[in-house]
Protein backbone atom coordinates (compact mmCIF):
# COMPACT_ATOMS: atom_id res chain seq x y z
CA UNK A 1 0.00 0.00 0.00
CA UNK A 2 1.49 3.37 -0.98
CA UNK A 3 2.13 6.19 1.45
CA UNK A 4 0.07 9.34 0.83
CA UNK A 5 2.53 12.21 1.01
CA UNK A 6 1.91 15.89 1.63
CA UNK A 7 5.31 17.43 0.91
CA UNK A 8 6.56 20.78 2.20
CA UNK A 9 9.90 21.77 0.69
CA UNK A 10 12.21 24.60 -0.39
CA UNK A 11 12.96 23.07 -3.77
CA UNK A 12 16.60 23.29 -4.26
CA UNK A 13 18.77 20.55 -5.68
CA UNK A 14 18.26 17.81 -3.12
CA UNK A 15 14.54 18.56 -2.73
CA UNK A 16 14.25 18.17 -6.51
CA UNK A 17 16.14 14.86 -6.42
CA UNK A 18 13.77 13.69 -3.67
CA UNK A 19 10.71 14.62 -5.77
CA UNK A 20 12.17 12.79 -8.79
CA UNK A 21 12.81 9.73 -6.64
CA UNK A 22 9.41 9.66 -4.97
CA UNK A 23 7.63 10.18 -8.29
CA UNK A 24 9.29 7.00 -9.56
CA UNK A 25 8.54 4.97 -6.44
CA UNK A 26 5.33 2.91 -6.51
CA UNK A 27 5.27 3.02 -2.71
CA UNK A 28 4.72 6.82 -2.81
CA UNK A 29 1.59 8.77 -3.71
CA UNK A 30 2.39 12.50 -3.83
CA UNK A 31 -0.91 14.18 -2.96
CA UNK A 32 0.29 17.80 -2.98
CA UNK A 33 3.42 19.91 -2.55
CA UNK A 34 3.81 23.22 -0.72
CA UNK A 35 6.82 25.49 -0.98
CA UNK A 36 8.63 27.48 1.67
CA UNK A 37 11.50 29.99 1.77
CA UNK A 38 14.92 28.50 2.39
CA UNK A 39 17.24 27.38 -0.39
CA UNK A 40 15.48 29.95 -2.56
CA UNK A 41 12.47 32.24 -2.21
CA UNK A 42 9.20 30.41 -1.74
CA UNK A 43 7.72 31.31 -5.13
CA UNK A 44 10.90 30.18 -6.90
CA UNK A 45 10.76 26.92 -4.91
CA UNK A 46 7.16 26.40 -6.07
CA UNK A 47 8.16 27.02 -9.70
CA UNK A 48 11.01 24.54 -9.35
CA UNK A 49 8.62 22.00 -7.82
CA UNK A 50 6.15 22.60 -10.66
CA UNK A 51 8.88 21.99 -13.24
CA UNK A 52 9.98 18.73 -11.60
CA UNK A 53 6.42 17.44 -11.18
CA UNK A 54 5.66 18.20 -14.85
CA UNK A 55 8.91 16.51 -15.90
CA UNK A 56 7.74 13.26 -14.30
CA UNK A 57 4.15 13.48 -15.51
CA UNK A 58 2.58 14.65 -12.26
CA UNK A 59 0.81 17.67 -13.76
CA UNK A 60 -2.23 16.94 -11.56
CA UNK A 61 -0.28 17.27 -8.32
CA UNK A 62 -0.61 20.88 -7.09
CA UNK A 63 2.41 23.04 -6.28
CA UNK A 64 1.37 25.78 -3.84
CA UNK A 65 3.43 28.79 -2.80
CA UNK A 66 4.04 28.98 0.94
CA UNK A 67 5.55 31.24 3.57
CA UNK A 68 7.94 33.79 2.10
CA UNK A 69 9.92 34.51 5.30
CA UNK A 70 10.69 33.09 8.76
CA UNK A 71 8.52 33.90 11.79
CA UNK A 72 11.10 35.87 13.74
CA UNK A 73 14.23 36.61 11.70
CA UNK A 74 14.99 38.14 8.29
CA UNK A 75 14.74 36.04 5.13
CA UNK A 76 17.96 34.27 4.18
CA UNK A 77 18.30 32.16 1.03
CA UNK A 78 21.05 29.82 -0.18
CA UNK A 79 21.51 30.28 -3.92
CA UNK A 80 25.25 30.08 -3.25
CA UNK A 81 24.70 26.38 -2.55
CA UNK A 82 21.81 25.45 -4.84
CA UNK A 83 22.45 27.76 -7.80
CA UNK A 84 20.91 31.08 -8.95
CA UNK A 85 17.48 29.51 -9.52
CA UNK A 86 17.88 26.72 -6.97
CA UNK A 87 18.43 23.94 -9.51
CA UNK A 88 22.17 24.14 -9.95
CA UNK A 89 23.03 25.86 -13.22
CA UNK A 90 19.58 25.09 -14.67
CA UNK A 91 16.96 27.83 -15.16
CA UNK A 92 13.51 26.23 -15.43
CA UNK A 93 11.21 27.87 -18.00
CA UNK A 94 7.91 29.34 -16.85
CA UNK A 95 5.85 26.25 -16.02
CA UNK A 96 3.21 24.97 -18.47
CA UNK A 97 1.05 24.00 -15.51
CA UNK A 98 -0.01 26.96 -13.33
CA UNK A 99 0.97 27.15 -9.70
CA UNK A 100 -1.88 26.54 -7.26
CA UNK A 101 -3.72 29.71 -6.23
CA UNK A 102 -4.07 28.29 -2.70
CA UNK A 103 -1.43 29.18 -0.08
CA UNK A 104 0.60 26.16 1.03
CA UNK A 105 -0.48 26.60 4.66
CA UNK A 106 -4.17 26.63 3.67
CA UNK A 107 -3.53 23.62 1.42
CA UNK A 108 -1.98 21.76 4.39
CA UNK A 109 -4.91 22.52 6.71
CA UNK A 110 -7.55 21.77 4.07
CA UNK A 111 -6.03 18.40 3.13
CA UNK A 112 -5.58 17.46 6.80
CA UNK A 113 -9.33 17.92 7.32
CA UNK A 114 -10.30 16.27 4.03
CA UNK A 115 -8.07 13.24 4.71
CA UNK A 116 -7.85 12.85 8.50
CA UNK A 117 -5.25 10.28 9.53
CA UNK A 118 -4.40 9.53 5.92
CA UNK A 119 -1.42 11.74 5.19
CA UNK A 120 2.28 11.62 6.00
CA UNK A 121 3.67 15.15 6.07
CA UNK A 122 7.21 15.16 4.62
CA UNK A 123 9.02 18.41 5.40
CA UNK A 124 12.39 19.04 3.80
CA UNK A 125 12.69 22.80 4.18
CA UNK A 126 12.38 25.33 7.00
CA UNK A 127 9.30 24.60 9.13
CA UNK A 128 7.55 27.98 8.78
CA UNK A 129 4.49 26.51 7.03
CA UNK A 130 4.10 23.81 9.70
CA UNK A 131 4.48 26.43 12.45
CA UNK A 132 1.92 28.71 10.85
CA UNK A 133 -0.51 25.82 10.35
CA UNK A 134 -0.18 24.85 14.03
CA UNK A 135 -0.97 28.44 15.04
CA UNK A 136 -4.02 28.50 12.77
CA UNK A 137 -5.40 25.02 13.50
CA UNK A 138 -5.11 23.34 16.94
CA UNK A 139 -6.50 20.11 15.51
CA UNK A 140 -3.63 19.62 13.05
CA UNK A 141 -1.56 17.15 15.15
CA UNK A 142 -4.61 14.90 15.48
CA UNK A 143 -5.34 15.06 11.75
CA UNK A 144 -1.79 14.48 10.48
CA UNK A 145 -0.54 11.53 12.50
CA UNK A 146 2.97 11.33 11.07
CA UNK A 147 5.53 13.99 10.21
CA UNK A 148 8.92 13.18 8.70
CA UNK A 149 11.36 16.06 8.86
CA UNK A 150 14.76 16.47 7.28
CA UNK A 151 16.47 18.73 9.76
CA UNK A 152 18.58 19.19 12.83
CA UNK A 153 21.85 17.80 14.08
CA UNK A 154 22.34 15.87 17.31
CA UNK A 155 25.92 14.65 17.64
CA UNK A 156 26.96 15.97 14.20
CA UNK A 157 28.18 19.56 13.67
CA UNK A 158 25.84 21.94 11.88
CA UNK A 159 26.09 22.91 8.22
CA UNK A 160 24.82 26.48 7.94
CA UNK A 161 26.62 27.37 11.18
CA UNK A 162 29.00 25.15 13.14
CA UNK A 163 26.10 24.43 15.52
CA UNK A 164 22.89 24.49 13.47
CA UNK A 165 21.43 22.69 10.47
CA UNK A 166 19.96 24.84 7.69
CA UNK A 167 16.26 23.90 7.82
CA UNK A 168 16.06 24.46 11.57
CA UNK A 169 18.31 27.55 11.52
CA UNK A 170 16.16 29.17 8.83
CA UNK A 171 13.21 29.31 11.27
CA UNK A 172 14.07 28.20 14.81
CA UNK A 173 10.78 29.43 16.35
CA UNK A 174 8.70 27.44 13.88
CA UNK A 175 10.81 24.34 14.41
CA UNK A 176 10.62 24.59 18.19
CA UNK A 177 6.83 24.80 17.95
CA UNK A 178 6.66 21.67 15.78
CA UNK A 179 8.54 19.60 18.40
CA UNK A 180 6.08 20.54 21.18
CA UNK A 181 3.10 18.55 19.88
CA UNK A 182 2.26 14.90 20.29
CA UNK A 183 2.14 14.01 16.60
CA UNK A 184 4.55 11.23 15.59
CA UNK A 185 7.63 13.14 14.46
CA UNK A 186 10.50 11.35 12.77
CA UNK A 187 13.60 13.55 12.53
CA UNK A 188 16.19 12.80 9.83
CA UNK A 189 19.19 14.90 10.93
CA UNK A 190 22.66 15.52 9.53
CA UNK A 191 23.83 12.64 11.72
CA UNK A 192 22.46 10.29 9.04
CA UNK A 193 22.23 12.47 5.93
CA UNK A 194 25.95 13.17 6.07
CA UNK A 195 26.39 9.41 5.61
CA UNK A 196 24.29 9.26 2.42
CA UNK A 197 26.80 10.93 0.11
CA UNK A 198 26.37 10.74 -3.66
CA UNK A 199 29.92 9.97 -4.68
CA UNK A 200 31.90 8.79 -7.74
CA UNK A 201 30.36 5.35 -8.51
CA UNK A 202 26.79 6.58 -7.96
CA UNK A 203 27.44 9.74 -9.99
CA UNK A 204 28.93 7.68 -12.82
CA UNK A 205 25.78 5.50 -12.91
CA UNK A 206 23.65 8.64 -13.04
CA UNK A 207 25.79 10.14 -15.82
CA UNK A 208 25.78 6.89 -17.81
CA UNK A 209 21.97 6.75 -17.74
CA UNK A 210 21.57 10.40 -18.83
CA UNK A 211 21.36 9.47 -22.51
CA UNK A 212 18.48 7.05 -21.94
CA UNK A 213 16.55 8.70 -19.12
CA UNK A 214 15.26 12.27 -18.94
CA UNK A 215 15.10 11.96 -15.16
CA UNK A 216 18.72 10.80 -14.92
CA UNK A 217 19.81 13.52 -17.33
CA UNK A 218 18.10 16.23 -15.26
CA UNK A 219 19.34 14.78 -11.96
CA UNK A 220 22.89 14.55 -13.23
CA UNK A 221 22.74 18.12 -14.53
CA UNK A 222 21.39 19.82 -11.41
CA UNK A 223 23.71 18.00 -9.00
CA UNK A 224 26.91 19.39 -10.57
CA UNK A 225 26.63 22.87 -9.02
CA UNK A 226 25.86 21.24 -5.66
CA UNK A 227 28.93 18.98 -6.05
CA UNK A 228 31.14 21.97 -6.89
CA UNK A 229 29.95 23.67 -3.69
CA UNK A 230 30.63 20.57 -1.61
CA UNK A 231 34.07 20.13 -3.16
CA UNK A 232 34.89 23.76 -2.43
CA UNK A 233 33.59 23.61 1.14
CA UNK A 234 34.61 20.13 2.21
CA UNK A 235 37.34 19.15 -0.22
CA UNK A 236 35.46 16.09 -1.49
CA UNK A 237 33.27 15.80 -4.59
CA UNK A 238 30.32 14.20 -2.84
CA UNK A 239 26.82 15.59 -2.30
CA UNK A 240 24.80 14.75 0.80
CA UNK A 241 21.37 13.39 -0.14
CA UNK A 242 19.59 15.07 2.77
CA UNK A 243 16.05 15.29 1.39
CA UNK A 244 16.10 12.08 -0.65
CA UNK A 245 16.94 10.16 2.54
CA UNK A 246 14.04 11.79 4.37
CA UNK A 247 11.78 10.73 1.50
CA UNK A 248 13.21 7.22 1.70
CA UNK A 249 12.58 7.06 5.46
CA UNK A 250 8.98 8.24 4.96
CA UNK A 251 8.41 5.12 2.81
CA UNK A 252 10.75 2.68 4.56
CA UNK A 253 11.60 3.53 8.20
CA UNK A 254 13.76 0.39 8.38
CA UNK A 255 16.50 2.29 6.54
CA UNK A 256 17.51 3.89 9.85
CA UNK A 257 18.03 3.16 13.52
CA UNK A 258 16.44 5.58 15.98
CA UNK A 259 16.65 7.03 19.46
CA UNK A 260 13.59 8.60 21.08
CA UNK A 261 14.33 12.00 22.55
CA UNK A 262 12.55 15.24 23.30
CA UNK A 263 13.89 17.92 20.97
CA UNK A 264 14.28 21.59 21.83
CA UNK A 265 15.59 24.29 19.52
CA UNK A 266 17.99 26.88 20.88
CA UNK A 267 16.35 30.27 20.34
CA UNK A 268 18.53 32.64 22.35
CA UNK A 269 22.08 31.39 21.88
CA UNK A 270 24.31 34.09 20.46
CA UNK A 271 26.34 31.45 18.63
CA UNK A 272 24.06 28.42 18.85
CA UNK A 273 20.66 29.79 17.74
CA UNK A 274 18.93 27.14 15.61
CA UNK A 275 20.73 24.22 17.23
CA UNK A 276 18.58 21.15 17.95
CA UNK A 277 19.11 20.12 21.56
CA UNK A 278 18.55 16.61 22.98
CA UNK A 279 19.44 15.15 26.36
CA UNK A 280 21.83 12.30 25.46
CA UNK A 281 22.79 11.38 29.03
CA UNK A 282 20.54 8.33 28.97
CA UNK A 283 18.97 9.04 32.37
CA UNK A 284 15.68 7.23 32.96
CA UNK A 285 13.75 10.48 33.31
CA UNK A 286 14.72 13.06 30.74
CA UNK A 287 14.58 16.67 31.90
CA UNK A 288 12.08 17.59 29.20
CA UNK A 289 8.33 16.98 29.43
CA UNK A 290 7.97 17.34 25.66
CA UNK A 291 6.75 14.41 23.55
CA UNK A 292 9.48 12.13 22.32
CA UNK A 293 10.70 12.43 18.73
CA UNK A 294 12.07 9.44 16.79
CA UNK A 295 15.54 10.65 15.80
CA UNK A 296 17.40 8.71 13.10
CA UNK A 297 20.98 8.21 14.24
CA UNK A 298 22.05 5.20 12.11
CA UNK A 299 21.42 4.52 8.42
CA UNK A 300 21.99 1.74 5.92
CA UNK A 301 23.55 4.26 3.56
CA UNK A 302 24.56 1.93 0.74
CA UNK A 303 21.16 0.20 0.74
CA UNK A 304 19.46 3.58 0.40
CA UNK A 305 21.86 5.07 -2.17
CA UNK A 306 21.83 1.98 -4.41
CA UNK A 307 18.02 1.89 -4.53
CA UNK A 308 17.84 5.68 -4.94
CA UNK A 309 20.20 5.72 -7.95
CA UNK A 310 18.51 2.65 -9.44
CA UNK A 311 15.15 4.43 -9.35
CA UNK A 312 16.60 7.61 -10.88
CA UNK A 313 18.26 5.71 -13.72
CA UNK A 314 15.33 3.60 -14.85
CA UNK A 315 14.63 4.30 -18.54
Report the catalytic residues: 242
Where does residue 174 rank: exposed (0-12), middle (13-18), buried (19+ CB within 10 A)?
A: buried
Q: How many helices (H) and strands (E) does the chain have?
A: 13, 12
Q: 245: which residues sit within 8 A by CB, 6+ positions away? A: 150, 188, 192, 193, 196, 255, 299, 304
Decide whether 35 or 220 has the Cβ nearer to ligand RIB. 35
Site for ligand RIB in 37-56 (CB under 6 A): 38-39
Q: Does 21 bind ligand RIB (CB under 6 A)?
A: no
Pairwise CA distance, residues 280 & 283, whole Å? 8
- SS3 category, 21: helix
- Among residues 315, 300, 311, 305, which one has the least CA distance to residue 25? 311
Site for ligand RIB in 125-144 (CB under 6 A): 125
Q: Does 8 bind ligand RIB (CB under 6 A)?
A: no
Decide whether 35 or 100 has the Cβ nearer to Ca ion. 35
Cα three-residue angle 166-46-26, rounded to 5 degrees: 90
Q: Does 125 bind Ca ion (CB under 5 A)?
A: yes
CB–CB of 252/2 below 8 Å?
no
**Tell me, what DSSP letter sits at residue 234?**
H
Binding mask 283-312 for ligand RIB (x = CB under 6 A): ------------------------------
Pairwise CA distance, residues 222 & 16, whole Å? 9
Q: How far is the CB of 297 from ligand RIB (least distance, A)?
A: 16
R_g (Cα) of the chain, nearest Å = 18
**Tell me, what DSSP letter sits at residue 246?**
H
Decide whether 150 or 251 has the Cβ nearer to ligand RIB. 150
Pairwise CA distance, residues 218 & 20, whole Å? 9
Decide whether 83 or 137 has the Cβ nearer to ligand RIB. 83
Pairwise CA distance, residues 158 & 274, whole Å? 9
Q: How far is the CB of 94 from ligand RIB (least distance, A)?
A: 23
- SS3 category, 120: strand
Q: Does 70 bind ligand RIB (CB under 6 A)?
A: no
Pairwise CA distance, residues 103 & 28, whole Å? 23
Q: With CB under 5 A as the contact rule, which of the stretches 5-13, 75-83, 101-109, 204-212 interacts with Ca ion?
A: 5-13
Q: Does 15 bind Ca ion (CB under 5 A)?
A: yes
Site for Ca ion in 240-299 (CB under 5 A): 243
Q: 314: which residues sit within 8 A by CB, 6+ positions away? A: 24, 213, 215
Q: Does 276 bind ligand RIB (CB under 6 A)?
A: no
Q: Does 243 bind ligand RIB (CB under 6 A)?
A: yes
Q: Does 124 bind Ca ion (CB under 5 A)?
A: yes
Decide whether 38 or 141 has the Cβ nearer to ligand RIB. 38
Q: Does 166 bind ligand RIB (CB under 6 A)?
A: yes
Q: Does 167 bind ligand RIB (CB under 6 A)?
A: yes
CB–CB of 308/206 below 8 Å?
no
Q: Does 49 bind Ca ion (CB under 5 A)?
A: no
Decide whether 38 or 70 has the Cβ nearer to ligand RIB. 38
Q: How far is the CB of 49 from ligand RIB (least distance, A)?
A: 12
Q: How far is the CB of 167 from ligand RIB (least distance, A)?
A: 5
Binding-site ranges for ligand RIB (CB under 6 A): 10, 12, 14-15, 38-39, 124-125, 150, 159, 165-167, 242-243
Binding-site ranges for Ca ion (CB under 5 A): 10, 15, 124-125, 243
Amino acid sequence: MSVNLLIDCDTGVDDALMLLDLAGNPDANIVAVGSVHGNVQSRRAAINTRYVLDLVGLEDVPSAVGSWRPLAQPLHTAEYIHGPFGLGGFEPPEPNTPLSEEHAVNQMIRLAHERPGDLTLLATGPLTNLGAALVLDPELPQLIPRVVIMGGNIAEPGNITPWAEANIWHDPEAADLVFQYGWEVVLVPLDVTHQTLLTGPYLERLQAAASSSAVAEFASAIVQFYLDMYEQARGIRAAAMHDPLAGGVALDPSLCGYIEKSIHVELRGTETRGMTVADLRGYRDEISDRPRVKVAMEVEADRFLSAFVERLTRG
